[in-house]
Amino acid sequence: MPSSSEAGQPGVLVFDLDDTLYCERDFAFSGFAAVEAHLARLHGDAVVPGTCRALFESGIRRAIFDCALERFGIAGGPDRIAELVTLYRHHRPQIAPCPDTSRFLETDPRPRAIITDGPAAMQRSKIAALGIGPLFGLIIPTGDLPPGMGKPHPRAFEQVMAWSGKPGPDHVYVADNPAKDFIAPKRLGWRTVQIDRAGRVHAPEPPSPDHAAEIRIASLDDLADKLRLKARAGFA
């Protein structure tokens, strides 16, 4: 039986983390609950549980803690916000892989890796909470790299190629955010797949053709078949 790469399919699968293997909003909701529990211990009934989540779901993203503190009547300021952001990033996440993630990782035998942006400790904490770390041969949180080497910088993708020992076209990158995820791997000759999950955090439309993935899916249940069909068509 020919291997996936012999059949024209990429033989190394590389995944983003947030909104790719699990729903990023679940981490946000978990973090909001941890922040509100912390504030409630200090300020009691002034804190209304679910406020941060409601703000998030209303479309607010960058000033959620400022808005929540104002609603609670609690003094804010840079030091307080920094404290809450640190708590948010370092809380123990209550998250789980998407069901299609579990199905795919249980059945697809190809070597695989993770490249994920974000503070390294936070991303590793997410992976530990998801329980998927042992299923990947290499995990690269770009927060471990020198400053400025997060996506779309190619460094992490080059590290994966050094690990796999295979050329660019033998790799596929599966990720959610076309604003930054696919530029570097495409330039290295990788195949690219955008997963477009319901409830995603980032806008799904690429800002230019250079940002667009070759394949677009809604679930990892579709990944193997889409790669197979695309390989038959020569990834044209």
**pLDDT for 174-231, tens place per residue?**
999 999 999 999 999 999 999 999 989 999 999 999 999 999 999 999 999 999 877 7
Please give the angle made by the CA atoms of 139, 104 and 8, to the nearest 5 degrees: 85
What is the model's pTM? 0.91
Band the pLDDT of 235: cuts 50, 70, 90. low
Say which range, 9-23, 78-92, 152-166, 222-236, has the weakest mean pLDDT.
222-236
- Cα–Cα distance measured from residue 36 to residue 121, given in angstroms and rounded to the nearest whole number: 21
Q: Please report the pLDDT score of residue 164 as a whole number.
A: 98
CA distances to 9, 11, 107, 150, 163 from 166, in Å? 13, 9, 22, 22, 8
Q: Please report the pLDDT score of residue 82 as a whole number.
A: 97
Q: Is the peptide bond before 185 cis (omega within 30 degrees of 0)?
A: no
**pLDDT for 86-122, tens place per residue?**
999 999 999 999 999 999 999 999 999 999 999 999 9
**At 141, is the secondary structure helix, strand, or coil?**
strand
